[in-house]
Amino acid sequence: MVQKRSNFSLPFPPRRILGGSLLGLGGILLVVLVLVLPVWTRLDCERSVTQLITCRLRGANLIGLAWRNQKIEPMVGAETNLQSVKRGYRYRTSIFTYEDEISLAPFAVSRRQATQAKAQVLEFVSDQTAQKFSLGYRVPWVLFATAMVFSWTLMGLGYLLLWL
């Protein structure tokens, strides 16, 4: 009995397929980091004559496109939550209305930054004489830089495999 050999072959060498895949994956990750990933959040609050606190929660990506524009009323407090037990950036600050809990940012930050944000919000809520309050929140630069380096590394490896 004679076995027939298959004449199937890939149109490109596997090295080129892997290189193109890595280049594409790195490019997609870079586009997501620049266009989609929210890198800052800003909370602006005002106290009305009736002492109710109305806030506007805004956020944008790296090139300034808004990803969040939310009106919050009335704000009554804040809380810091532990998101995971891993080391590093893992805390989130949430603000409260009578009906809802709203995360200040979609990314986790250091414990120090989260507790400072909570303390500032609670100080504004308890100080009846304060009329306006602003709080800015940025994605930790270490996380953002690591993701950028990773995407550029994937693209570089992909280009290298295509070039060889």
- For the chain, give every domain's residue range: 38-145
Q: What is the pLDDT of residues 71-80, one digit of tens each?
A: 988 888 899 8
Sign, CA dihedral 92-98-100-104, equals negative
Q: What is the mean pLDDT of the chain?
A: 86
Which pLDDT does position 35 carry in this prediction?
85
Cα 4 from Cα 163, distance rounded (Å): 35
Which pLDDT does position 83 carry in this prediction?
76
Cα 39 from Cα 43, distance rounded (Å): 14
Strand order in the sheet with 132-138: 66-72, 53-61, 38-47, 132-138
Which pLDDT does position 9 carry in this prediction?
67
pTM for the whole thing? 0.72
- 13, pLDDT greater than 70: yes
Partners of 151 in the β-ladder: none
Q: What is the DSSP letter of 77?
A: E
